Chain A
């Protein structure tokens, strides 16, 4: 039960973080479309790091 609540919290946090990353990346792509490749790569890397964090927490809590 508690770990389910924890999982929910993790998902909320991860979702907020991913939203921030994605939104900012979109903004910067809109601002500088010629740098979209670099921004995308950086976005994916940071997203992956966040994902690792979230999954780590999920697995540890399980």
Chain B
């Protein structure tokens, strides 16, 4: 009963997505930038992968090489410029990514270069580049757009609220044992509670942090898995996203630190007085900078590297065609990318697990109470 309902929800979700796609592809007559030019050289593949690893302002599914038509839908752009907040749809850029299409919004000239939106300086009409391909007469703006990553996060959030809300409602209805898909989710929640939070934070205090840990665990996991789908999300491979997650952890353990924790961090007992300020500095740097930095870099680098490897192996199909023929190169790329994909599924879980595990470890360090006197 509940299972049927949840399946229905999923179907509705998928349908709503695809209907938006269909609608967008019809209503969005995109003028192809590189019509009739498939991505087939090493440089093109490289830039394609680099482009994928970055955030995007539109949801691009695939490009028809014959007609040069892009399939996908555009997402809203919200930028804070020198003249206030400006909003428009990303279709205004016509899929241009090199700064040649200039969007004029109430005397603010905006261009998109390498998935980043720049505002042209006053009086400029064309973007001038220096030797290192940096725009000389434009500056970056604060970009609050619903980018592809933000879209992915929203989808993930919705999915989580749907799935776990269903599980919660099952309990409220009086089902002691959940039914349907909820039956898969319940052990995961118990796993996070019993294997991650309880042993690291301690029996007495873990309850306060459960909401954060559970949310972060499932958020990262679902986003990682979403990154493995052909939709091409790369949310946890955005350094801003992982930085935000890590800073949440830091803020939480800094604000829930006990007196003991601060005493041990800032004025370590049992150590010569001369050394104490040095130790305090080391500890503070460790807690404020090194620990969050390792958290954010780990997640970012793992996911980015995973995407890079999978896309490179898929691209083997094209790069090796000349030397091995189409059949061998396709087979090789298929087998290798399948193999790496399986590992990536493991990594998707492992990174979510490690992020949550280390977060709870750090929180556990901060809330630990030493009952022994030094």
Contact = CB atoms under 8 A, between A and B. Distances in A.
Within the complex, are A and B direct neighbours (CB within 8 Å)?
Answer: yes
B116 to A, nearest CB: 19
Contacts of B353: 44
A48 B358 contact: yes
Contact of A56 (B293, B302, B350, B358): B293
Given A41-B195, A45-B358, A48-B358, A55 B298 contact: yes
Nearest to B199: A41
Interface in A40-57: 41, 44-45, 48-49, 51-53, 55-56
B247 interface: no
A48 B298 contact: yes
Interface string B343-362: 00000001001100110010
A49 B297 CA distance: 11
Nearest to A38: B199
A1 interface: no
Contacts of B297: 52, 55-56, 59
Contact of B294 (A41, A44, A45, A53): A53
B357 A44 contact: yes
B127 interface: no
A44 B298 contact: no
A55 B301 contact: yes
A53 B350 CA distance: 17
Q: Which of A52, A58, A59 has the most CB of B within 10 A?
A: A52
A58 B305 CA distance: 12
Interface residues of A, number: 12
Given A49-B294, A53-B294, A56-B294, A44 B301 contact: no
A42 to B, nearest CB: 11
Interface string B262-298: 0000000000000000000000000000000111011
Contacts of B350: 44
Interface residue SS majority, chain A: helix
Most chain B CB within a 10 A radius of its CB, from A48, A51, A56, A58: A48
A59 B300 CA distance: 10
A35 to B, nearest CB: 14
Interface string A8-50: 0000000000000000000000000000000001001100110
Nearest to B195: A41
A55 to B, nearest CB: 4
A45 to B, nearest CB: 6
Contacts of B293: 56
A45 B354 contact: yes
Contacts of B354: 44-45, 48
Contacts of A55: 294, 297-298, 301-302
Contacts of B302: 51, 55
Given A44-B357, A45-B354, A45-B361, A51 B298 contact: yes
Contacts of A44: 350, 353-354, 357
B247 to A, nearest CB: 16
B294 A52 contact: yes
A48 B295 CA distance: 9
A37 to B, nearest CB: 9
A57 to B, nearest CB: 10
Interface of B: 195, 293-295, 297-298, 301-302, 350, 353-354, 357-358, 361
13 contacts: A44-B350, A45-B354, A45-B357, A45-B358, A45-B361, A48-B298, A49-B358, A51-B298, A52-B297, A55-B302, A56-B297, A58-B301, A59-B297
Interface of A: 41, 44-45, 48-49, 51-53, 55-56, 58-59
A-B pairs with lowest CB-CB distance, top 5: A52-B294, A55-B301, A48-B354, A52-B298, A55-B297
